[in-house]
Amino acid sequence: MSDPFRFVMSTEIIYGIGTSKQIGTIAAARGIKKAFIVSDQGVKQAKLLEPIQGALQEQGIETALFYDVEQSSSVQSVDKGAEMVRTQGYDGIIAIGGGSAIDTAKAMGAVATNGGHCSDYAGINKIKLPPVPVIALPTTSGTSAEITDVAVIADRAKHARIGVRSPFVVPAIALVDPLLTVSMPPHVTASTGMDALTHAIESYTNTATAEPTEVMALEAIRIIGEHLRGAVANGNNIHARERMSMACLLAGIAFKNTRLGILHAITGPFCGYYEVPHGVANAVILPHVMRFNMLGNLEKFAKIAQALGVKTENMSCREAALSAIGAVQDLLSDVGLPETFKGMKLDESLISQIASEAVKSGNLTINPRKATKEDLIAICRSVF
């Protein structure tokens, strides 16, 4: 018998190879007349914007391009774009890019209708008015920003990554076309793919899981273990790209309904202080968090090992759980991501401050093993 659970998905998901060609008719069907396209320089250079803009214009929709989103979206970009949306009367936002572009667009839509500045809405449920609707087209397979109810934005003046969390920041539509991910270079494919793996593992192992999310998270783990290497090795491998898009989507649906764990509690402030890409930080710290959390649920970590292709038939439960960590380390090595931060010249004196901020995260309350500030410090030090 299943335990009671609550499951929410408010974003319409349109998935499949070539579906991005429908953007014009989809936007028109929602009554959009003026579309503000939010993206970044990498997407522009990959020439992904022209077909999107053209499809919108074919439907008589006026468009404007905003492609100044940084590697980590900033409060300044949000405020600048929101002012343009508000004063120039855009009634729809089209976000095309990775997590930074999509989160920027989500926050823009909210600030445009609610006024003020992005930083005013850091926290939970501070947005009171419906936003300008966002249609999100992800070009990476990792963040799941296209379906989540939080926009993570960098406030560099405060060395922080703030979370604007509200049902109002959820994109209206996620248009997931695996073909848009083909232009991702190998290192981005690797880091975003590992980001999706961290989402799946933390959702699967935390204490807020339910049967539907466990099924999706474990399947996401299996798909990533089977196809991330192929996507990194050959970006034109459409089958691997499609499978990674599906894994990202499944992991995102799962963690939207469960939240995450201490890994994301750590990497929020960690990336604020160090400017390390979120996916890279998650990937490097993941095995260390798994080693700490393993005691909280040996059986689930053993199942993670099986999902990652480890033959566990002749292992004890503890041996199988430990082998999951080794499988993740092998995956990290195979896709060319570092195992530590030793070569990055990061200031270790900031670890205590990072742990002080991380321990305040609500993700600690659902982590499979109780963690103190000292535990988080030890985890951070282990990756240097």
Q: Which pLDDT value is given to residue 72?
A: 74
Q: Give me the pLDDT at residue 226, please.
A: 97
The whole-number average pLDDT for the span 94-115 is: 95
How confident is the prediction for the chain on average, in pLDDT? 93
Q: Residue range 171-175: average pLDDT?
A: 97
Question: What pTM did the predictor assign?
Answer: 0.94
Q: What strands lie across the sheet with 34-38, from one edge to the other?
A: 12-15, 173-176, 134-138, 92-97, 34-38, 62-66
pLDDT confidence of 324, banded at 50, 70, 90? very high
Residue range(s) occupied by CATH 3.40.50.1970 in the chain: 12-181
Please report the pLDDT score of residue 277 as a whole number. 86
- Chosen CATH of 186-382 out of 3.30.300.30, 1.20.1090.10, 1.10.10.10, 3.40.50.300: 1.20.1090.10
Return the pLDDT at 319: 96
Give start-end residues of each CATH 1.20.1090.10 domain in the chain.
186-382
- Using only C-alpha atoms, the chain has a radius of gyration, in whole angstroms, of 20
Which 3 state secondary structure label does DSSP give 205?
Answer: helix
User: What's the mean pLDDT in 87-91?
Assistant: 95
Which tokens belong to 24? 């014009």
Inter-axis angle of helices 317-334 and 186-205, nearest 10: 160
338-350 tens-digit pLDDT: 988 887 878 888 8
- Tens of pLDDT, residues 348-376: 888 999 999 999 988 999 999 999 999 99
pLDDT(2) > 90:
no
Percentage with pLDDT > 70 across the chain: 99
Q: What is the pLDDT of residue 1?
A: 54
- pLDDT tens for each residue of 325-339: 999 999 999 999 998
The CATH topology of domain 12-181 is: Rossmann fold (3.40.50)
pLDDT of residue 20: 96
CA distance 222 to 31: 40
**CB-count exposure of residue 156 (10 Å: 0-12, 13-18, 19+):** middle
- What lies within 8 Å, CB to CB, of 305 at 6+ separation is 312, 320, 321, 323, 324, 327
* pLDDT score, position 156: 77
Residues in the chain: 384
